[in-house]
Amino acid sequence: MGNERKISEHKNNKDVQIFLKEDLLPSMTKVPIYSLDDEFEKTKKNKNLRLYVITALFIAFIVLGAFFLLYVYNQNRIVQIDINDFQDINLTELLNNAKKNEAKLLNLKEELENLKQEMNFSVFNAKDDTSREIELLMAKSLPSAEKEEILKKLKQEEKSKMVKLMNDYQEQISAKQDEISKVQKEVDSYNQKIASDAERVENVINNYQRIHDYQMNKQKSYYDKLIESLKAGNKKQISLIKRYHQEFIDSLILKYNPVFEGEEFKNILSEELEKEGIVIDLENLNADISSEGLLSPAEFEKIKLMRKDFDLLFKKIKEIPYINSIPYVLDHFQYHFESLSGSYSGLLKRTAEVIAKKDKQIQEKNTVIKKYQDSIDLLAQDERENGYIIFKDGSGIEAVVQKGYPIADDTKAFVFRGDQEWIATVRLKKNFDSVTAEIIEKAEGKDLRSFDKLLLIIQ
């Protein structure tokens, strides 16, 4: 076989030109100090589009290079073999014929097995028929000699049937076995030819494989050199991109972790945080403010829940590894919140204490007032009077009515000074533990005074 059609060498491709130029990269300057006010004004303009463009182009270059190398590799994997070398080796036809003969052999073996099963089934049916006839004979009332003669005849008929069946099926089985033997010889012959031709094919393929390996090694050497040159040329551009990328990352870090400047920030962040002096006693505070009615239990529980939620959220924020001024801002933020919470709880506690003190004073004064009321009531009983005017001022008229006299909403009473001098007619009104009076009619030139007597008008 000839080597007229050898694998052709690949032509050398031109060097891939470097697409990233040094002058494309902007001049690097020191990252300016972050100013919160200026940053808000420049937010819309602060977009580093150049980095995204350069990075995208570089990635596209790498991807295209990879696809190119993969294409070349796949092309070189294809071994070009001259089909004329195999014209004298009809391997496909041999394989097809061998496959047909093997299928035919399998079908013949199945047919042989079916014949054997059919023969066994026929023998079984013949014996079964004879057995049923013998059972019927035994069930009949015939003389023994007659039964013996009929039984002998049935067995002879059964034997004749068996001989005929076996002869018929044996002829078919023998013919099928002869056919199987003939096809088996053909299969063995084709297998022998295939083994012989396969060896020749293997030798041809091995020759072409050696040629292919030589070409592959040559191409590999060429592309290894090309890749090394590309790596050397791209090393500088990669270094520039990494440097620009790092400075971009630094600018992002500074943007979200700024350094707060200015006297107002310095004064706040330089303040000493004395957290030990802050006391927030919400549990004991609950009893004080609830007893004085400053907050309802539901309102107080809502405050506790808000405080718990704040602590949970702030704890999560503190887990973020901020740098520069942000950690100090968070510490001061927490400190001022704790201080405000402590001051608020202290204010509530002191307010509850003042209210409790005032309640005690009011209770003491109410005790004194009750004593006075009891004394006046006793005086009214001794003097046989219904009640007295206690005092009159700009806020209203206070009166005392002897216990046992009911006061309705429109209860009226005369006001006398002494036993005979009529001063006024008033309407009495019950107001918790006290009684107030409203003037309905009054004597000309007269005015109500303390300890004027009341005479109830009972209807």
Give 254-303 pLDDT, tens digit per residue. Answer: 888 888 888 888 788 877 777 665 556 666 665 556 656 666 778 778 88
Q: Position of tokens 């004749």?
A: 160
CA distances from 43 to 50, 148, 262, 394, 407 (A): 17, 123, 21, 68, 78
Q: pLDDT grade, residue 23 (50/70/90)?
A: very low
Please report the sign of the dihedral spanned by the C-alpha atoms of residue 346, residue 347, residue 350, residue 355: negative
What is the per-residue pLDDT for 50? 61
Q: Which residues contact 27 (CB under 8 A, 6 or more apart)?
A: none
Inter-axis angle of helices 144-256 and 91-139, nearest 10: 140
The DSSP secondary-structure symbol of 436 reads E
Q: What is the largest CA-CA distance in the chain?
A: 168
Give CA separation, 438 vs 146, 336, 387, 414, 441, in Å: 149, 57, 15, 11, 9
Query: Would you state the pLDDT for residue 360?
Result: 86
Higher model confidence: residue 299 or residue 56?
A: 299
Q: Which carries the bigger pLDDT value, residue 202 or residue 427?
A: 427
Q: What pTM was estimated for this model as a whole? A: 0.37
DSSP letter assigned to residue 277: G
Q: What number of other Cβ atoms are within 10 A of residue 300's Cβ?
A: 17
pLDDT at 25 over 50: no
The CATH architecture one would assign to domain 385-457 is Beta Barrel (2.40)
Q: 327 is written with which tokens?
A: 């950690």
Would you say residue 250 has pLDDT above 80?
yes
User: To the nearest whole percent, how much of the chain has pLDDT over 90?
Assistant: 3
pLDDT interval class at 424 (50, 70, 90) = very high
Q: pLDDT tens digits for 72-90?
A: 666 555 545 454 544 444 5
From-to residues of CATH 2.40.10 in the chain? 385-457
φ/ψ (deg, to 5) at 396 = 150, -170
Residue 13 has pLDDT above 60, yes or no: no
Residue 36 has pLDDT above 60, yes or no: no
